[in-house]
Amino acid sequence: MRKFLQFSLMLGLFLATSLDLFAQVTLTGSVSYTNGTFTYNSGNTTAFRVCSGVPISLNSGSAAAACAGRGGVARDFFVAGSNGGGDQQEITPAQPGNIVRITVPGYFRYCVRCNNGDMIESDPIFFIPSSRTEEGAQCADVILPVELTSFRGNSVDAGISLEWTTDSEVNNEGFEVEYSLDARSFETVTFVTGKGTTDQVQNYKYMHKINRPGSLYYRLKQMDFDGAFEYSDVIEVMREKTNNGNIVIFPNPAKEAFTITVSNPDRLNSSVKVTDLLGKVIFERSFQAGEVDFFEEEISSLTQQLYIVTTRIGTEITSHQVANLN
Cβ(77)–Cβ(98) below 8 Å: no
Q: Where in the chain is the domain with CATH 2.60.40.10?
A: 148-239
Asked if residue 289 has pLDDT above 80, the reply is yes
235 or 16, which is more confident? 235
| pLDDT band of 200, cuts 50, 70, 90 | confident
Cβ(63)–Cβ(76) below 8 Å: yes
Average pLDDT over residues 34-43: 89
Q: What pTM was estimated for this model as a whole?
A: 0.46
SS3 content of the chain, % helix, strand, coil (to 5): 10, 55, 35
Provide the pLDDT for residue 84: 64
Q: Which fold has domain 20-142?
A: Immunoglobulin-like (2.60.40)
Cβ(151)–Cβ(55) below 8 Å: no
What residues contact residue 85 under an 8 Å CB cut-off, 6+ apart?
Answer: none
DSSP string, 169-202: EEEEEEEEEEEESSSSS-EEEEEEEEEEEESS-E
What residues contact residue 145 under an 8 Å CB cut-off, 6+ apart?
Answer: 168, 170
Half-sphere exposure of 252 (CA within 13 A, CB side): 20
What is the share, in percent, of the chain residues with pLDDT greater than 70? 88
Q: Where in the chain is the domain with CATH 2.60.40.3080?
A: 247-323
Asked if residue 91 has pLDDT above 70, the reply is yes
The secondary structure of residue 212, as a DSSP letter, is -
Q: Which CATH superfamily is domain 148-239 in?
A: Immunoglobulins (2.60.40.10)
Cβ(85)–Cβ(106) below 8 Å: no
HEC sequence for 282-325: EEEEEECCCCCCEEEEEEECCCCCEEEEEEEECCEEEEEEEEEC
* CA pair distance 212, 295, nearest whole angstrom: 9
DSSP bridge partners of 239: 214
CATH number, domain 247-323: 2.60.40.3080
C-alpha dihedral sign at 110, 111, 112, 118: positive
C-alpha dihedral sign at 238, 242, 245, 246: negative
Cβ(302)–Cβ(259) below 8 Å: no
Asked if residue 254 has pLDDT above 90, the reply is no
* CA pair distance 56, 78, nearest whole angstrom: 13
Provide the pLDDT for residue 102: 87
Cβ(212)–Cβ(171) below 8 Å: no
